Amino acid sequence: MRGNAMKAIMLAAILAGQGGAADVPPLKPASAWSVNYAEDMCVLSRDYGDAGNRVSVLFRPTPFNDRVQTVLVGDRKQLGYSPRVKVQIDGRAGKGVFDGDGQRTSLPKGRNMGITFDLPRDTVTDFAGTEPVGFALSGGKPFRVNLSLSRAALTALRKCETDLMQSWGFDVGAVDTAPVLPARAQRDPSMWLSNSDFPRQLLGANANVTVAWIITKEGGIRNCRVVRSSGNATFDAIPCEALARRARYTPARDANGHPVETLSSRVIRFKS
């Protein structure tokens, strides 16, 4: 408890002096929401501000996962410089909705910087109809945007995710892609895999693989498969076997309260 209190004090000190975002005039939308159908991902994005002060907000989920990778793109003077960053977000009436870690990355061209962090999917969904949304970044300047995230935009993003799962060979007509109550992991999914699951010959290797599966009515998983290879067959063979043994859910339910099968996927990042 004492450690958490000290962490909160340190974070407040980091953000102090740059002012809160509440009094900053919100940036207005400069474009409509658009969904990009990339080869192996879906990206929902929108630009805000004008040419002299432009910020882009992107939501890039792993299909049917409960986390959504969120990216802010803007001028380095606005977003800051150091690789690691603390991100705070507020929503309705200044209510805090996120406080966590992010990563800054210099973009190849121009003076832009990208900040990447993960949001719970529920948080992104709750942004619908919420404006403005404020961002406070350690080492950067606070700003607000009139997010204007519509239900239609979120529906278009979910359709992209559904189409992507279908392109990966899943029969989306046989499962519930929009259950009233989504499936919930019964334990921290980060504990489902560990470095000890991988053989010694992979020590020193870095690899990413994307796997997808069906969550059953009983809360287990079936039909787990690699949908984006790491390029290493030994590495690719491990995640689904480990997930089949450890992944357990409270199953999704339909409008009548009955358990239903649904989908999920995950990017497995291995760094020894």
Q: Tell me, yes or no, whether 145 and 177 share the same domain.
A: no
Last residue of a domain, one of 99, 130, 153: 153
Q: Tell me, yes or no, whether 233 and 199 share the same domain.
A: yes
Is 249 inside a domain boundary?
A: yes
Beta-carbon neighbour count of residue 177 at 10 Å?
A: 19
Which string of DSSP letters, residue by residue, matches the chain?
-HHHHHHHHHHHHHHTTS--STTSPPBPBSS--EEEE-SS-EEEEEEEEETTEEEEEEEEEPTT-SEEEEEEEEEHHHH-SSSEEEEEEE-GGG-EEEEEEEEEEE-SSTTEEEEEEEEEHHHHHHTTT---EEEEETTS--EEE-----HHHHHHHHHHHHHHHHHTT--GGGS-SS-SB--EESS-GGGS--GGGS-GGGTT-EEEEEEEEEEPTTS-EEEEEEEE--S-HHHHTHHHHHHHHH--EEPEE-TTS-EE-EEEEEEEEEE-
Name the one residue in this structure whose structure tokens are 């000890």: 196
- At 131-182, the pLDDT tens digits run 789 999 999 999 999 999 999 999 999 999 999 999 999 999 999 999 999 9
The beta-carbon contacts of 200-204 under 8 Å, at least 24 apart in sequence, are 201/234, 202/232, 202/234, 202/235, 202/270, 202/272, 203/272, 204/272
Name the one residue in this structure whose structure tokens are 């279908």: 166
Q: Tell me, yes or no, whether 43 and 146 share the same domain.
A: yes
Last residue of a domain, one of 105, 120, 153: 153
Q: Tell me, yes or no, whether 187 and 142 share the same domain.
A: no
Q: What is the pLDDT along the chain (272 residues), one digit of tens a residue?
A: 444 444 443 344 333 334 455 567 899 999 999 999 877 889 999 999 998 889 999 999 999 999 999 999 999 989 998 889 999 998 765 567 899 999 999 887 678 899 999 999 999 998 888 778 999 999 999 999 999 999 999 999 999 999 999 999 999 999 999 999 999 999 999 899 887 888 877 766 778 899 999 999 999 999 999 999 999 888 899 999 999 999 999 999 999 999 999 999 999 887 65
- At 248-271, the pLDDT tens digits run 999 999 999 999 999 999 998 876
Give the chain's domain count: 2
Range of the domain at 37: 2-153
Kindly list the distances between the CA atom of residue 57 and the CA atoms of 72, 138, 157, in Å, as whole numbers in the listed order: 5, 18, 14
Please report how many Cα atoms fall inside a 13 Å half-sphere around the Cα of residue 28, on the Cβ side: 1
Last residue of a domain, one of 124, 153, 182: 153
Q: Tell me, yes or no, whether 92 and 143 share the same domain.
A: yes
Amino acid identity at 203: L
Q: Tell me, yes or no, whether 11 and 135 share the same domain.
A: yes
CATH number of the domain within which 228 lies: 3.30.2420.10
Q: Tell me, yes or no, whether 148 and 182 share the same domain.
A: no
